[in-house]
Amino acid sequence: MTATAVCTEEDVIEALSTVMDPELDAPIIDLGFVRSVTLDDDGITVHLRLPTAFCSPNFAYLMASDTLDALRLVEDIGQVRVLLDDHHDSEKINAGLAADAGYVGTFGPEAEESLRELRRTFLSKAHAAAMERCVEAHLKRTDLQANEIYRITLGDLAPGENKDALLRRRAGIGLSNCPASRVFVDDNGKRIPPESVPMRLRLAKSVRISMEGNAHFCRGLLATRYTDSESVGAAPRITNLRTTRSPR
């Protein structure tokens, strides 16, 4: 007999807010990619959606898999079911998720390798964008010159959303978050030489602008695709069918 799930709706939303679109580096719940959440006495079913039916299968699977992993960490959530709707590979992805087959197990011979390298690429881009935001914000609030960027440490950065995001991105690629650590480094934590800083800063800025632009574009596509049926950008539709409520 399945144990009654007693997690709250707030627990579920909090877990979903940790799942990121790997290409856009934004929470899928903020992007409108979480279509619906249904809770029952056995657990939870979450439906995801994407801006188009032909979004890349690799990061479509990655987002769905990350959603499954995040929800399974919620205490007393019960059975977790994650389904990707309206995608040309929905049937294959959903079957792979249900069987815990992994990426290679899901796509078989079509998958030449795991998602490890793809995930690393997305994390590196997210780190570059977060690093550039912090550096630009630091330059605006201090008298530091551009040729001194290489001196900035994590301890020098003002607390706030930008710094928090940078610390998460650094942790994601295995870099130290010691306050004495240099901010402007490569993905291996190696300090960028002063003479290379301007070029690397321009590159990081282009990555950040591209990610922000793509996020805006995807929101527009999603709104166009689902304009007649659902409110894009709003919180996901939540249906609670549980007969036993959480005591919390």
Check whether residue 110 and residue 225 sit in a common domain: yes
In a domain, residue 3? The reply is: no
Q: What value does the mean pLDDT of the chain take?
A: 89
Check whether residue 160 and residue 179 sit in a common domain: yes
Please check the confidence at residue 2 and state whether its pLDDT lies above 60. Answer: no
In a domain, residue 34? The reply is: yes
Check whether residue 15 and residue 103 sit in a common domain: yes
Check whether residue 51 and residue 142 sit in a common domain: no
Check whether residue 94 and residue 81 sit in a common domain: yes
Of 152, 173, 192, which residue constitutes the final position of a domain?
Answer: 192
Check whether residue 106 and residue 126 sit in a common domain: no
pLDDT digits over 158-174, tens only? 999 999 999 999 998 99
Check whether residue 104 and residue 32 sit in a common domain: yes
Please check the confidence at residue 180 and state whether its pLDDT lies above 90. Answer: yes
pLDDT mean over 82-93: 96
Question: Which CATH number does the domain housing residue 102 bear?
Answer: 3.30.300.130
Q: Using a CB cutoff of 8 Å and minimum separation of 24, what contacts does 187-193 make?
A: 187/124, 187/127, 191/150, 192/150, 193/150
pLDDT mean over 179-201: 92
- With b meaning 16 or more CB within 10 Å and e meaning fewer, what string describes 205-219? bebbeebeeebeebb
> Considering its fold, how many domains does the chain have in total?
2
The pLDDT of residue 201 is: 93
Q: How many residues in the chain?
A: 248
The pLDDT of residue 1 is: 44
Check whether residue 13 and residue 85 sit in a common domain: yes
Check whether residue 100 and residue 63 sit in a common domain: yes
Which residues are within 8 A (CB) of 134 and not within 5 positions of it... i.e. 6 or more apart?
A: 157, 162, 163, 166, 183
In a domain, residue 172? The reply is: yes
pLDDT digits over 197-247, tens only? 999 999 999 999 999 999 889 989 998 988 755 555 567 889 998 886 554
Check whether residue 106 and residue 131 sit in a common domain: no
Check whether residue 43 and residue 63 sit in a common domain: yes
In a domain, residue 85? The reply is: yes
**Inter-helix orientation angle 116-141/161-172, to 10°:** 150
pLDDT digits over 101-147, tens only? 988 889 887 676 667 788 888 899 999 999 999 999 999 999 888 88
pLDDT digits over 48-83, tens only? 999 999 988 888 999 999 999 999 999 999 999 999
What are the φ and ψ backbone dihedral angles of 30, each rounded to 5 degrees?
A: -75, -30
The pLDDT of residue 245 is: 57
Q: Structural domain of residue 169, as residue ranges?
A: 116-192
The pLDDT of residue 242 is: 86
Could you tell me which residue, 1 or 68, shows the higher pLDDT? 68
The pLDDT of residue 248 is: 47
* DSSP H helices in the chain: 9-16, 28-31, 57-72, 90-98, 102-107, 116-141, 161-172, 197-225
Check whether residue 28 and residue 108 sit in a common domain: yes
Query: Could you please report the per-residue DSSP string of 40-54?
Result: -SSEEEEEE--SSTT
In a domain, residue 2? The reply is: no
Give me 150's structure tokens: 């290489």
